[in-house]
Amino acid sequence: MRLQGVKAILFDLDATLVDSSEAIVSTVEKALESRGLKCESAEVVKMIGLPLEDIFSALKPNLSRNEVWQLVYKYREYYMKHHLERTKIHSSTQVLLRTLRASGFKLGIITTKYKEPVMDVLSHFGISKLFDVIVTGYEVEKRKPAPDIVLEAAKRLGVTSKQCVVVGDSPVDVQAGKRAGAFTIALLSNTYNRRLLESTKPTVIIEELQAILKFL
């Protein structure tokens, strides 16, 4: 199956292009420890891709909104100092991105992450110049699974959302793409299983990132 009329490919970042799970989990734990709190690592892994404030609220529902944001700021402070030590780029990412650009596709990042560490990671791995647009969840009114971030990226690229493919590893990536009218490619990762991804009915499910090329 070939996806027709595609002009742009919009990628989620964490667990899609890079593996930052270790960095995220350890930093959530550090932030909680700063307030004498603890959590189960497995619970954090299940929420990778969600906004930080939602992760802390889910882990510790008794905290006030102000306390949650204090944890977010503590997280950001520690994360920016240490995240590159524990973030890895998937082996196929750089070659795939260069191949897609050479084929004439516009490329974008759509992530719930705030911008500073996103740019840090892209620069660190030498891929920042491969993207035409980078949109974070803090730049739109509603986060994934709302379609806002997909629509905003399409607008900045000068294409329609129906000319976009959204690539991500989580149900919210698929839902955001579908609600925007885009094609959706779900990538299997260690975070979400096939059954859960299938329940969101993406256009395609792939096991390896480079498999995208089979459909474009």
| Catalytic residue (one of 12, 19, 148, 173) | 12
> Which two tokens mark 20?
């930052």
| pLDDT tens-digit readout, 5-47 | 999 999 999 999 999 999 999 999 999 999 999 999 999 998 9
My answer on whether 135 and 101 are in the same domain is: yes
Q: Domain of 66: which CATH number?
A: 1.10.150.240
Does residue 49 sit within a domain? yes
My answer on whether 187 and 118 are in the same domain is: yes
Does residue 3 sit within a domain? no
My answer on whether 121 and 192 are in the same domain is: yes
Considering the entire predicted model, what is its pTM?
Answer: 0.94
pLDDT at 49: 83
My answer on whether 73 and 171 are in the same domain is: no
Question: Is 171 strand, coil or helix?
Answer: helix
Select from 35, 65, 85 the last residue of a domain.
Answer: 85
My answer on whether 99 and 194 are in the same domain is: yes
One-letter amino acid for residue 176 of the chain: A
Does residue 60 sit within a domain? yes
Does residue 101 sit within a domain? yes
pLDDT at 115: 94
pLDDT at 206: 97
My answer on whether 170 and 123 are in the same domain is: yes
| pLDDT tens-digit readout, 120-178 | 999 999 999 999 999 999 999 999 999 999 999 999 999 999 999 999 999 999 999 99
Mean pLDDT along residues 201-216: 96
DSSP alpha helix (H) spans, the chain? 21-33, 41-45, 52-59, 65-82, 93-102, 115-124, 148-157, 171-180, 194-199
Which residues are 88's β-sheet partners? 19
Q: How long a stretch of residues is the chain?
A: 216
Does residue 1 sit within a domain? no
> Which two tokens mark 100?
């897609």
Q: How far is the C-alpha of 59 from the C-alpha of 112, rounded, in Å?
A: 18
Does the N-terminal peptide bond of residue 61 adopt cis geometry, omega within 30 degrees of 0?
Answer: no
My answer on whether 97 and 201 are in the same domain is: yes
My answer on whether 120 and 56 are in the same domain is: no
Select from 85, 110, 127 the last residue of a domain.
Answer: 85
| Residue 148 is among the residues annotated as catalytic for this protein | no
Q: How far is the C-alpha of 10 from the C-alpha of 108, rounded, in Å?
A: 5
Does residue 207 sit within a domain? yes
Select from 85, 107, 127 the last residue of a domain.
Answer: 85
What is the residue range of 62's domain?
21-85
